[in-house]
Structure 1
Amino acid sequence: MNLNRNFLFTALVALSTLTFYSCKTKKLIVKPVPVPVEEVAPPVKEKKPEPVPEQKEETVVEKPNFNLDNIQFEFNSFVLKTASFPILDKAVTEMKKALETKFILNGYSSAEGTPEHNMSLSVDRANAVKTYFMNAGLKASTFTIVGHGDKDPISSNATEEGRALNRRTEIKIQK
């Protein structure tokens, strides 16, 4: 067993030595042979096709669609409902199609609370929508804020469903 180990070790050392010796770079002894140069015929001139006159593409400008749903809010708050975000995103997309258009943000509240509180809340709701639009890259000067309080309900304030619909901000084009 010991004899096998010594033999394998010796063979490994010999192989390593041969491998390292054979890896040395060798100098090129052969002189390079010159490559014969072929005569090339002159290129044949081909007729280039005449350029086709460019046709002007008519860019179709899509008209903005400002027929948007109302933006809804939580009870006694100017915090936007999560369901309102897709409506606001669509509004931003449409408003960016007509940057020169001015808008009125009409804020409303339900009939719960004092008239002063409802008026303040409706203005805060309209300002929350304006802030959303400004964060989306629209100019603040594009928007006018109007608070209506609990006036002009779109549904009855007798039920919770009706009051929830009245907590809103409407977007109108300024004329």
Structure 2
Amino acid sequence: MMRVGSTNGIGKGTARVLALRGVHVVMAVRNVATGGKLKEKLLQKMPNARIDVMEIDLNSIDSVRKFSLAYISRGLPLNIRINNAGIIPAAKFTFSKDNIEQVFSVNHLGQFLLTNLLLDTMKKTAREIQIEGRIINLSSDLHRWGVDKEGIVFDEINDEKRYDHFIYFI
């Protein structure tokens, strides 16, 4: 099982409960030091838990690709994939490391790419253990305020004039 966004909030609680239930948890984290501290804290309470911490920055397509290659090279199975990481809009319009509006890049593109890159691993695991895998996407209701009547205008994702962080906090 792999989680993205594991070091606080719902992600932290989910990682704890799954480890408590005997699931091998791979915490995909941006801050490895924070992930390592959480891992040690969880292992103090559950010394037999299987927890790994791996670095990923959803703000960078290269980091997502690097993570997926590292995960696959470990030969780990994958039958539960939980997309939990996300950022809220900053007051200032910001680009990702790949020159894509940052909120869209981190909350959507990075998650989608990672899931897509690991899909064959999930299929292989499902065949081997004869149990279908699950991909779980978590989000908030903030999307209701951020999409206008025309939906996502993909041709204008990087248009700073359309960016309005206040729309998320109505």
* TM surpasses 0.5: no
More helix by share: 2
Compare CA radii of gyration and give the structure with the larger one.
Answer: 1
Q: TM-score, normalised by structure 2?
A: 0.29
TM-score by length of 1: 0.29
